[in-house]
Amino acid sequence: MTSEKLGPETDQENHARTPEEFSPTDVPGCELMTLLAQGIRAEALGDLEGATALFAGAAHSADPALAAEALTRLADARRSGSAWSDALAAARRAQEVARVAGLEPLELHGMIAEANVLLCRGDFAEARALFEQVLARSAEPRMRGLALQNIGSILAQRGELGAAERYFAESYGQFQCAGYRRGEATALNNYGRVTFDRGDLPLAESLLRQAVAAAREVGHGELIALTTHNLAEVVARLGDIARAEDLAHEALGFFAGSGNRWREIECLRLIGTINEQRGETENAVRCYERGLRIAEEVGAAFEARRIAECLRPLRLGTR
């Protein structure tokens, strides 16, 4: 499931520098705003290293609003790179900066960023508590949509599919009210995913094709790859193995190239499943073992358990 990130999209060119090239004293405020915009663009294109450097630079701003947003986005970029501790530090610093300046909406965005890291690590109870706090404090549709969809993700991963579906539907409505097209694409993706898990393959395929189209409309690389991955899983279940494999490898190529190892794990699990459907057990085992290795390396406990469950019967020769 996707974890949505805040912020407007931009078409500005990205010319990334390393974090060491920035200091809080030698970069004018206008350039720091440009760095933030460039970082947003870099992240959308899958350049996590460049985005991280740009957000780290913009976070030096003396303007608390700019600094808090940059730190929140830095947390998201670090999360995508599976740097959990650094991501949590940036998210919590963003909240502190926003809180001191009395910028509650930015403080809440920082809370969502923190909760997203916890969700990725499999710390569902802590993550949900933060999302619930956001819902209690905000009436703004986009903010509520972000919290609702991520609570839905937690419920779906716990197998509470009916409840998850209700949260995704409500989040979609909130994003529509906010006019937030990227959020709509994410909600369609999540809704399609949970519909698939509930066994309604035709509806899931329809929702996920809409999600892919909406993701391409907003031009966000990570979201395109994620919706493509989920569509691949549905297509595989429908029996079009060749098409599913093409879609899965397309998604894997993006996530591996961008350094998003958490999503890379999901793709490897799917490709392993596709290999099982082909009867290619050895290839399936190799995919699962590679995915499990990455999950253990980055501390993605939930994904490690899921892949271990796929791998166990193959090693025992019981599937």
Q: What is the pLDDT of residues 70-124, one digit of tens each?
A: 999 999 999 988 899 999 999 999 999 999 999 999 999 999 999 999 998 889 9
Which residue range(s) make up the domain with 80?
12-119
Does 61 reside within a domain? yes
The answer to whether residue 99 sits within a structural domain is: yes
d(CA 152, CA 4): 12
Report the domain count for the chain.
1
247 part of a folded domain: no
| Structural domain contains residue 56 | yes
Range of lowest pLDDT (64-78, 264-278, 304-318):
304-318
Q: Which CA distances in Å does 284 have to 164, 248, 255, 310, 315?
A: 30, 14, 19, 9, 11
Tracing tokens 């703004």 back to the chain, one arrives at: 140
- Confirm whether 227 is domain-assigned: no
Closest CA to 266 of 233, 242, 299, 219: 233
Query: Degrees (nearest 5) of the Cα angle 208, 124, 44?
Result: 45
Residue 2 has pLDDT above 50, yes or no: no
Give me the CATH number covering residue 74. 1.25.40
Cα-flanking dihedrals φ and ψ of residue 2, to 5°? -85, 155
Cα–Cα distance measured from residue 273 to residue 233, given in angstroms and rounded to the nearest whole number? 9
174 part of a folded domain: no
Token code pair at residue 160: 């509470």
Smallest Cα–Cα separation from 110: which of 101, 97, 119? 97
